Amino acid sequence: MVGFLIHSPLEHFAQHTPEHPALSCQGTQMSYAQLDHASNQLAHALIANGAERGDRVGIHMHKCLELGVAIYGILKAGCVFVPIDPFMPVARIQFIVEDCGIDHMLTNDALASNVKSIKHASTLHIYGSTNDGPDHTLNANVHSWADIGQLSNQSPEIVMIDQELGYIMYTSGSTGVPKGMMHSHLGSVTYARWGADHVSLNADDHVASHAPLHFDLSIFDFFSTVQRGATVVLVPEAVVRFPASWTKTIESERISVVFTVPYTLITQYEQGAMDERDLSSLRWILFGGEPYPPEKLRQLMLSLPNVKFTNVYGPAEAPSCTCHDITLPAEGSTEPLSIGIVSRNSTDIIVDENDDDCAIGQAGELCIRSTTLTRGYWNRPDLNQKAYLSRQGAEAFPFVYFRTGDRVVRGTDGNLSFLGRIGRMVKVRGQRVELDEVESVLASVSNVQEVAAFTVPGAHDSLTIVCAVSPAVHTSIEPAELLAHCRNHLPPYAVPSDIKVLPALPHTSTGKLDRKELAESWVP
């Protein structure tokens, strides 16, 4: 166990295993000593340009070695890093910059034009870019890596405690306005140590940084790995898009641990030429973000018999708050995979619509109390009031739980089963329908790769259930066949009124199905 701040292990291993690779990207490596020195230099650059302890600093970068420098340099300056999706539109970037009060931004030449397009860009200090445009108006506030590399590589030794914020991660809000989740050093270190312990990370491990930095899975990639002095393998976005390139990277980089979303693993199995690769280095796969269809997981597990699989659950507000190590699902199983029990330093309750405790076997909303829990939403007291449930403890000490918005049920063995989002339960002609159940039924069809069930406006101000489905690679499927399958497995009121078969379904930048885009573009 090394240190109590997010960056403490980096400083430890820079002293004890200085030449060991901390980062690797497309065959190029950066040692622990190099990463420590470069992040110290960035910290000095931030401080010299007015960044103070607790200030928010944006990171708008593609996957590269400098991404690690950005993370640790910001933390070493006593600041809070704010990941900004590299594919985010300029208007969204501007909202986050203004909402979070960002005066300093890490980027690179490929993305610098995005940063410089926002209002008041001339007041921003921009780090990591050499391209300041033809008008040279931003010269004074643009700091290249070459300039930063001239500064001291010794630690600035900013005094901090683990209760201070480490990062703010923005996610889409239900109103369409992004909301920033505040996470402390303590919460992140707790999460990181859980991850390192659960998969028994060691210095020889190569852990894939597959998820984008603005997705909470990336916190495991970076911070669990550094807990054991192992190597983070940054997987560029261009590689992620092509399953065959992704499996080739696992082979060439000798990746041993992967934490990603089911969609990535399904496409990797079906289109990644896995049988042509030497994947013997791979020993553990963690997945989360969305339910994994049991039959699809069974296929992958049979193809990788020596790999352990873990289903990890947790909203970004309370990452990895439960997990379950998976045994091979039975052939043809449609039973949802268990999400297990709460992780270390966490506890939970399940409540009904009146906030009363649910009995074993009774479905309700999962509420989490955990060290990893967000400190709340940045600048959103309205959301903070709604997001938490208070329970009276001993001696008038309140226990505060986060409302996950997820429906679960606890079995007699103590394990939790995920039943879907509370907002995914809809009423159709007066009948309650779980859209996740509709998806599960369609996902059980052997040549279905992905399915999205959602509602669109129907007649007389009613809702109508429709589905979009993509077939497995090199197969085809007819909507009539899928509708017949639904009629055999669902009550009549839950059968979709329409099913479209599309070549592929849209995904968000974090790899989750983009049901909102499908609903907005749906044409009967």
pLDDT at 134: 45
The rounded distance, in Å, linking the Cα atoms of 286 and 299 is: 16
> For position 458, what pLDDT does the model report?
74
Residue-level pLDDT at 516: 87
Residue 431 pLDDT exceeds 80? no
Does pLDDT of 429 surpass 70?
no
Q: How many Å apart are CA 430 and CA 482, to the nearest integer?
A: 24
Confidence of residue 394 (pLDDT cuts 50, 70, 90): low
Q: 136 falls in which pLDDT band (50, 70, 90)?
A: very low
For residue 138, pLDDT over 60 is answered with no
The sign of the dihedral angle between the CA atoms of 172, 178, 179, 182 is positive
Higher pLDDT, 256 or 382: 256
Give residue 462's pLDDT.
65
Confidence of residue 396 (pLDDT cuts 50, 70, 90): low
Q: How far apart are CA 1 and CA 44, in angstroms?
A: 27
Stretch 368-383: mean pLDDT: 92
**Is residue 57 pLDDT above 80, yes or no?**
yes
Residue closest to 320 by CA, chosen among 218, 204, 200, 430: 218
Q: Is the pLDDT of residue 22 over 90?
A: yes
Is the predicted pLDDT of residue 442 greater than 80, yes or no? yes
- At 270-283, the pLDDT tens digits run 888 899 999 999 99
Q: Which range is most confident: 219-223, 424-428, 444-448?
A: 219-223
- What's the pLDDT at 434? 80
Q: Which stretch of DSSP H or E encloses residue 219?
A: helix 217-219
- 131-145, 295-309, 417-431, 433-447: the lowest-pLDDT one: 131-145
C-alpha distances (whole Å) from 337 to each of 194, 333, 400 are: 21, 10, 28
Please state, rounded to an integer, the average pLDDT across all residues of the chain.
90
Confidence bin at 332 (pLDDT 50/70/90): confident
Mean pLDDT (whole number) for 295-321: 93
Euclidean distance between CA atoms 180 and 82, whole angstroms: 9
Q: Are strands 284-287 and 257-260 parallel, antiparallel or unpaired?
A: parallel
pLDDT at 139: 54
Strand 322-325, strand 231-234: pairing:
unpaired
